[in-house]
Amino acid sequence: MRLIVGTRGSELAIIQTDIVIDKIRNLYPDIEIEKKIIITKGDKVLDRALDKIGDKGIFVSEIEKQILSGEIDFAVHSLKDMPTIISEGLLLTKTPNRANPADILVLNSKYNMNHDEIHDWLKNSKNIKIATGSKRRISQLLKINPGIEVPLIRGNINTRIKKMELEDFDGIVIAAAGIERLGLEKKLKIYYFDYDEMIPSPGQGALAIEIRENDSFLRKICDEIADLESDIGVIAERSFIKSIDGGCHMPVGAISEIDGDILRLRAMYGDSECKNIVSAKLEGKKVDAVEIGNELAKILYKKLHDKER
């Protein structure tokens, strides 16, 4: 049997797709899987922030069209890039094992500091430039230190690292999962943000497998390679972002942690100008992941609007 999987063309996207291919082949060695590279709008427009060119669908709409048309059988995405509402006729399968969901600061090679020194430098220094294209990251950087200048940067990870060096930015903020999947964590000077400093994007570090809704065969296969705790965690996070209606236009973050039967969800929400930011935590039984996400969204929505009055 032969299947075709769609993916974006970056090195990271291909590595992520190969992770899923390997998981499927381990269970079904007779299935042949071919990769098809698809260029999305988000890959073409790199000189504008995400909120200026559309919502999260900019990274997936071209790929989704090819699933629906039958040109490809399924696609592998970064879950954080997926809209909360999936196109009619498609669905996301359960989530495979999640990589590190944290954000990291990649420092310019001119610096040589340990973790504590980076923490103090980031919090207290003036006139430093930390680049990102994310309003969520901008808001939380400015909460750490209102004096940080945050220039725009987009593109794949290696492109961002090169731009940081060429334009002499002091650092860039990137998802830890991307750096680790590329095997760059030991080659760069990096600082891992804890969740008190930087709450990740909902679904960050997780992979999304998208299939046709009526494809029961692929759905069964993807259920077999899923990780149930990873899946429950991202269900809570995506429930939160859907309920609060957060996309590229508002700073929104959420991260789940599971301890036995208990799910702890922490989240942040801010205004479109990245000036006001609120955060909160909520816990409950992991079987109530959707309700926990919905309830925390209500709490933060009220908290932000009360703060703005």
Q: Determine contact, residues 191/115, Cβ cutoff 8 Å.
A: yes
Asked whether 26 and 19 are in contact (CB, 8 A), the reply is no
Which of the residues 80, 135, 219, 238 is marked catalytic?
80
Q: Is the dihedral of CA 91, 93, 98, 99 positive or negative?
A: negative
286 is catalytic: no
Q: How far apart are CA 132 and CA 151, in angstroms?
A: 7
154 is catalytic: yes
* Torsion sign over Cα 68, 74, 79, 81: negative
Residue 103: active-site member? no
Q: Which of 248, 266, 274, 286 is catalytic?
A: 248
The Cα–Cα gap between 131 and 124 comes to 17
Task: Tell me, yes or no, if 137 is annotated catalytic.
Answer: yes
Please answer whether residues 103 and 134 qualify as being in contact, where contact means their C-beta atoms are separated by less than 8 angstroms: no
The single residue of 154, 181, 219, 266 carrying the catalytic annotation is 154
- Is 80 annotated as catalytic? yes
For residue 285, the cross-strand partners are 262
Whether 285 sits among the annotated catalytic residues: the reply is no
Choice among 8, 98, 135, 160 that is catalytic: 160
Residue from 56, 136, 219, 238 carrying the catalytic annotation:
136
Known catalytic membership, residue 160? yes
Catalytic residue among 8, 43, 73, 81: 81
Among 23, 137, 219, 238, the one annotated catalytic: 137
Cα 278 to Cα 299: distance, rounded to the nearest angstrom: 10
| Cα 177 from Cα 100, distance rounded (Å) | 5
Active-site positions read 80-81, 136-137, 154, 160, 248
